[in-house]
Chains A and B, each alone.
Chain A
Amino acid sequence: MPIIKVENLTKHFGPVAAVDGIAFEVEKNSIFGFLGPNGAGKTTTINILCTLLSPTSGKAAIDGHDCMTRSSEVRKKIGIVFQDTTLDKELTAYENLSFHAYLYGVPKDLHKKKIDAALDFIGLYDRKDDQVKKFSGGMKRRLEVARGIIHEPAVLFLDEPTLGLDPQSRANLWEFISKLPEKSGVTVFMTTHYMEEAEICNRIAIIDKGRIIVNGTPEELKKMVGGDVIYLKTTNNKLAAEELKKTMGIGAEEKNGELFIQAVRGDACIPKLISSLADMVLSVRLQRPTLNDVFLKLTGKAIRDEAQGSGDELKDSIRSYRKKFDKK
């Protein structure tokens, strides 16, 4: 039985359909990625699933409980890391987690053990008595994830968990998140607009303008844009191309002094290529399609374009604010 089930879900804000008839299922103990540009309807969907918003129409259920009619059952089953920090910065790391444990009715004799274990897991045990305002962005995020799992939820929602983090904290956080299903037995539902981050997901749904345009495993999605591309440098490209056609039936084209070969599973192809070309090979390079290529193919635009756009808006508003300020 799927742990999250969404059927024909729609949410209108006035005339705007933020979510427009989406449907999907999430299997237990998996990582499900919800991908799309800013404003695609990701956060709206999460807010409906975690009982903060009611849908205009359609159904959403977590572990068999309807998100609308049985919200208190649903709330017990879920943990959430929102897009913006929801920690109390005046409280210490320990106090934030303790607040959460009380709120979720974790038995009192387990509080200390669980909180200490969670802090240890995220590597913040040494800083447990520091106020959260002294923490870096990455530390806050990790603390929020730890808080989200302290009451052992069935599903953990992560809404753009790496937004605004530096590359290193981002990598750390991903490593940590990818271990969660195995380590804590939790199903992870995450949104992101960074395509490369979605690679750790077991399944991905790509959403644009409130509609799911594709749903599948990362491998399946990448196959939609054709397979991998192998670039070969050989001592004699022409001869090598002929040889490949003869022995393996592969068509290779020459491009900028390299042979360019399309293959479904490029990595498995390389050993065969090399063995059939004997010692002619000078170098091999494999290029795999990215999820960004998938998005580009399906929507005709790159996902980053939009992300970049909103970033520019922010810069503009900061600039105009500074202008005002400088005049004074």
Chain B
Amino acid sequence: MSTDLNAIYVIVARELIKFVREKGKLVSTLARPLIWLFLVGGGMSRVVSPDMGMPYMQFIFPGILGMTILFSSIFSSISIIWDKEFGFMKEMLVAPVSRFSIVVGKALSGTLVSTIQAVIILLLFPVIGLKIDAVQIPLIVFMCMGLAFCLASLGILIATFYENFESFSVIMNFIVMPMFFLSGAMYPVKTLPPALGLLTMLNPLTYGIDALKYMVFPAKGGLSLTHDFSLAVDIAVIAVCSTVFVLIAGIMFERKK
């Protein structure tokens, strides 16, 4: 057990060291949510006049947080592909540690890195005229971590099936963009046609963003368009998905050819 905790610790430490050494990466990953928030959000708010009682730019703010987490945590699993390609994965696989601790270690590093980015985006709330109390911030950060862990383990699960960088990034783009649009980040899930609505229900990001909406707009809890599920459902889905993803990914790692 203590060996496994050591393994988790050192896997996370390695990713953080590398994250700190590559400062350019942080800037480039922050660019995407900023573009969506200000260019898409700013532009759309002129045409969209939602009856949800707030400007569109504020409405999509939890969605943009979700997007930051989605991209950075799912793509953090690219480190698994790099490790496979450059052989470092073998160093971990021959070590006397449980495969689950490798998965959890990787998922936690993805969680930390994307939460850092989400917090940077979160601190922009005054710029778009949003009011967030100091009490809400730890709740939002906590929710971000939960969602990030879930998505990072999904990314790792997908990465266990791919050996090289090219096919992995193709499949990731194929998954990530639909996940983003079918998540209620840009529009309320309720307004979607039933077929698409069903797809959003299968998307863990939907629940994460829904929960973030509870945290970001606590006072507007009664408004019909902001929430799709109850907070308990949101959190339960995220927790169950995380567990399932980690378990399957661990089993996939254990499997020998």
Contacts and interface: CB of A to CB of B under 8 A. Distances in A.
Task: Note whether A and B form a binding pair.
Answer: yes
Interface of A: 50-54, 72-73, 75-76, 78, 80, 82, 84-91, 95, 98-100, 102-105
Interface string B82-105: 000011101111111110000000
A53 B17 CA distance: 31
Nearest to A101: B10
Contacts of B256: 51-54
A141 to B, nearest CB: 13
Nearest to B105: A103
Counting chain A CB atoms within 10 Å of each CB, which of B17, B92, B94, B95 scores highest? B94
Given A52-B90, A73-B96, A99-B10, 15 more contacts: A51-B256, A52-B94, A54-B256, A72-B96, A86-B86, A86-B88, A86-B91, A87-B88, A88-B14, A90-B18, A91-B18, A98-B10, A102-B9, A104-B96, A105-B3
A91 B6 contact: no
B87 A90 contact: no
29 contacts: A52-B93, A54-B257, A72-B98, A75-B95, A76-B96, A80-B90, A82-B87, A82-B90, A84-B87, A85-B86, A86-B86, A88-B14, A88-B86, A88-B88, A89-B86, A91-B14, A99-B10, A99-B14, A99-B91, A100-B91, A100-B95, A102-B9, A102-B10, A103-B7, A103-B95, A103-B97, A104-B3, A105-B3, A105-B96
B21 interface: yes
B94 A80 contact: yes
A51 B94 contact: yes
Tell me if A's interface is mostly helix, strand, loop or mixed: loop
Contacts of A91: 14, 17-18
A86 B90 contact: yes
A313 to B, nearest CB: 20
Interface in B1-50: 2-3, 6-7, 9-10, 14, 17-18, 21
A85 B87 contact: yes
Given A75-B94, A80-B94, A104-B95, A86 B87 contact: yes
CB-based closest 7 A-B pairs? A102-B10, A86-B87, A75-B96, A105-B3, A103-B95, A76-B96, A54-B256
Given A89-B86, A99-B10, A105 B91 contact: no
Nearest to A79: B94
Counting chain B CB atoms within 10 Å of each CB, which of A50, A85, A103 scores highest? A103
A274 to B, nearest CB: 54
Interface in B162-212: none
Contacts of B93: 52
B90 A103 contact: no
